[in-house]
Chains A and B, each alone.
Chain A
Amino acid sequence: MGDRLALHAAGLVKSFGGRRAVDGVDLSVPSNMIYGVLGPNGAGKTTTLRMLLGIIDPDQGDRTVLGCQQPRDAGDRIGYLPEERGLYPAMKAREAIAFMGALRGLPWQLGRSRGAEMMEAAGLGHVVDEKIRKLSKGMAQLVQLLGSLVHQPDLLVLDEPFSGLDPVNQERLEKIVFAERDRGATVLFSTHVMAHAQRLCDRLAIINRGRRRFEGTVDDARSTLPMRAHLVPRDPDGVQTLLPPDAVEAAGGGFDFTVPPEGIEPVLARVIEGGHGVAGLSVERPSLHDAFVSIVGQDGREMHR
């Protein structure tokens, strides 16, 4: 591809009727990565994506997509699956894919043949010539996804791609996303389902209330929270005084607590020196879900302060 950044946005602002939906979002998406835009409902994810794609213009800020300041100039190299799925019900599935490809510059005939191949590969070979109105919602959603891929874009933008899909189709979609990155494309997707983000994202941004609250890798996000430990002493009597102050007694005589900044070793040393012994110990890194809740929750607390 050659672009070091597939996409760059600085200070994007968009207001609707006096309400700021997006309030100065910055994003830098490196090429050939799976990049997640995470945020709760109404955070401004879809508006941000629409501005990045040139569907709407920002009130303020700049964006550069695949080296072009006007996203439409790179239009033929972009694939997009909107949050609100839309296909012509009277079109045949293969035609719908070819049509979406043709909008992006792919010849109809090539779009038709590629569409049929892609549907075959995605397990939809039996409905290639079915009209969209006869497909299930999940099938139609996959057809639309294939339509956004048929011209082999350099940048694939998926807005809440997993919503409405059953677990089987969710897994299919995850495979497609990985395959696109392996092909060399950059995948940018929005979601509020952390499990998908944790499995898929090379990097991610968390947006809340129209602002970017975090940017980094999944590990970076998880590292924003301290690790949690679960200690089971041989003699629990009086051990709580030796543990960090937030330690709470859990079932089975164990204690849950946050690993202090100096690490778990000093805690273990105090417990063993106190003669309580250690029957079991587990240390867990926080999940992306925990990090997300913490970042977004912190944002809410700041708002109410």
Chain B
Amino acid sequence: MIGRFLRQTLVVARRDFVAIVFTPTFLIFLLAPLLMLGFGAIGGAGAARLAEGSVDRNRVVVIADAATGPRVTAADAGLRTVFRSEEAPPALEIRAPDADPLRQARALFDAGDIEVSAVLAGPIETPQILHGPRGDRSAAYLRQLAERVVLGERAGADGQIVTATLTEVQRSGATSSSRQAAGFFAVFAIFLVTLLLASQAVGMLAEERGNKVIEVLAAAVPLEAVFLGKLLGLFGVAILFIGFWGALGAQGIMLLPPELAVASALQPAIGLPMFALLFIVYFIMAFLILSAIFLGVGAQASTMREIQMLSLPITMLQLGMFALSAAAAGNPGAPIARVAELFPLSSPFAMAARAANDASLWPHLLAIAWQLLWVMIVIWLGARLFRVGVLKSGGGLSLPFRRKKPVAEPSS
């Protein structure tokens, strides 16, 4: 009985796998992440260009005479080494003072060619610093700049106050931030892949219903086998997808110079090989749980319009699980992390994040057992829902795979 059920499941899975993979549209689906990255890059480049345009015209201005100006410029060059480029204050501009430097400073805020966020005017030891509504940080920078100029003057000819020796030291273990980065990466990657793959299950039955094949299937095999077969077929597609991008990503990382290698930024507490293994296991759990729900819910729809309408709450549910798990990744050990780790729909995501933040292995064994239990419950419920939805012939839940014994044949 089990053997026949398995065989029927595999027949449906094989059909679905072949029907999805051996089509030109699958190529588009396979390259979807590339398209997403492409669109993201285009959007990012556009936004960066807009931001750059605004930054280019941003200025802090020092109104200083010919003697002070070069010293200010030199101090500015030294101070800027402290900042990353995206955090650096606006570019410095030196202006020669006129008869009324304060009036000159105020007038600069109305200049059309540049956007002034702060202006320093007057003697360098007792300067007046004017700033716009959002220029308080620029004003603070100008104050630091003035102090550095003054301290430099007092220090003597070379302007050095402190002579320091800088030595780079390599860390032996992962930092908290690199662990959290690995946690976020895991949550986001599982979310992205399940978003791409599991939500496909919603529309899986549309073809059968449209072509009236469902009755042929229902007459030949138990609907539970159809359900599991579809899940398995889609799972095969998911593995192909992950395998393709995993192999491509691994090759890409190997080609990168060591200082740019992504893996070096991800330092999960549990170790990279175990983290990779758990990532795969949790992806499988997330995929099976969510796909089973989506397939069961999708079976209730009878038109494409209904399927589209069902897709929205399902996507919202996925986003909710992502948000919960991302919060767990950012707050390891917090109550919200525990909730996310225990709630069946978010557990695979949150536990992947935990693998990044915590080196213990036993919680994962428990979590996998817990998730497996839920996979079975959800698949069983999904299959029941599927049967009721597909044939509208439900009538209460009964134990799965229940069969009455054959009886003696009647005589004519």
**What is A's interface to B at a CB cutoff of 8 Å?**
3-5, 8, 28, 30, 50, 53-57, 64, 67-70, 72-73, 75-76, 78, 80, 82, 84-91, 99-100, 102-105, 144
Contacts and interface: CB of A to CB of B under 8 A. Distances in A.
Nearest to B223: A55
A5 B216 contact: no
A68 B412 CA distance: 16
Interface stretch (B3-11, B271-279, B280-288): B3-11
Contacts of B213: 86-88
Dominant SS among interface residues on chain B: helix
B133 interface: no
A82 B212 contact: yes
B401 to A, nearest CB: 11
B220 A100 contact: yes
B40 interface: no
Given A3-B409, A64-B409, A100-B220, A70 B403 contact: yes
Given A67-B406, A90-B23, A82 B391 contact: no
A82 B216 contact: yes
A86 B28 CA distance: 28
B218 interface: yes
Given A88-B19, A89-B211, A75 B411 contact: no
B220 A69 contact: no
A88 B4 CA distance: 23
Interface in B15-46: 15, 19, 23
A88 B404 contact: no
Counting contact residues on chain B (CB < 8 A from A), the size range is 35 or more
B211 A68 contact: no
Interface of B: 4, 7-8, 11-12, 15, 19, 23, 207-208, 211-222, 391, 393, 395, 403-412
25 contacts: A4-B412, A5-B410, A8-B409, A28-B412, A50-B219, A55-B218, A55-B219, A56-B391, A56-B393, A72-B222, A73-B406, A80-B220, A82-B215, A82-B216, A82-B219, A84-B212, A85-B212, A86-B211, A86-B212, A86-B213, A88-B211, A89-B211, A103-B11, A103-B216, A105-B4
B409 A4 contact: yes
A30 B221 CA distance: 25
B22 to A, nearest CB: 9
A103 B212 contact: no
Contacts of B222: 72
A75 B403 contact: no
A91 B14 CA distance: 13
Contact of B219 (A28, A80, A90, A102): A80
A149 to B, nearest CB: 13
A103 B217 contact: yes
Contacts of A72: 222, 403
Contacts of B215: 55, 82, 84, 86
